[in-house]
Structure 1
């Protein structure tokens, strides 16, 4: 891994889980990690329930837009994380691939999205401890 590890979150529509994961990683790791998210069939907007759920914890993803998954995005990332949605990334030697089994927030209200948001935070905190321990940047964990 380079001095600054790079993580790519992938979900089919890049509208819910991958957007929340990218936002958590950016929020918690600050400038210690390069963060990307993408989808194989991006939606036309980020899931409003995901936007609302993240706003409740002080993270604004309302201006994010779903992006198409490209080979270049995978190639430029050290860790590629799919979100339990059956999506696959192009495989390159030397990359680390993870699949986080997460419920799909599509079509669900904010009440159903909150536990998904919180589960993603726990996974992201574990990832940070592995790839970018210590250092400065990011916000302290809320108690």
Structure 2
């Protein structure tokens, strides 16, 4: 049992931005130590290019990912389900979900790029904490 890698699923509305960004950052931080997946309630047609650009600035890559629809199987397979943002994910018995509500970007961040960079930094800090938690759980 202790050899099993933690399985983390990030969920947002479209799986084109926030959940993909979080997944890319956790893959980068955890390497092969964690299984990382992401999904959306209504998948976008493609990855958000601006989100891909700003996550690349931190050395993470999400360009090869494809927005994926959330399934009950994916929810049940995950050890941690993290809803990033306001997506309304149906509750399932036996599946614990946590929600990350990213901080509201300050009004002085006027461009879309500045807002996404702010979002990226907020999610990156949360991913760093999650990665530490997962490392502690795996070590214990």
Once the two structures are superposed, what CA deviation does each residue of 1:33-62 show, in whole Å capped at 9, x if it has no partner? Answer: 110100010000111110110111122211
Q: Secondary structure at the match of 1:60?
A: coil
CA distance in 2: counterparts of 1:28 and 1:49, whole angstroms: 21
Aligned-pair CA distance for 1:92: 3.4
Aligned pairs, number: 132
TM-score, normalised by the number of residues in structure 1: 0.83
TM-score, normalised by the number of residues in structure 2: 0.84
Map 1:1-143 onto structure 2 (within 5 A): 3-93=4-94, 95-102=95-102, 109-133=112-136
Partner of 1:140: none
Gaps of 5+ in 1: 136-143
Q: Secondary structure at the match of 2:81?
A: strand
Gaps of 5+ in 2: 106-110
CA RMSD of aligned residues (A): 2.2
CA contact (8 A) 1:18 1:83 kept: yes
Cα distance, 1:134–1:97 mapped onto 2, change above 3 Å: closer
Aligned-pair CA distance for 1:133: 2.9
Which is helix-richer, 1 or 2? 2
CA contact (8 A) 1:80 1:89 kept: no
Aligned-pair CA distance for 1:104: 8.9
CA contact (8 A) 1:10 1:18 kept: yes
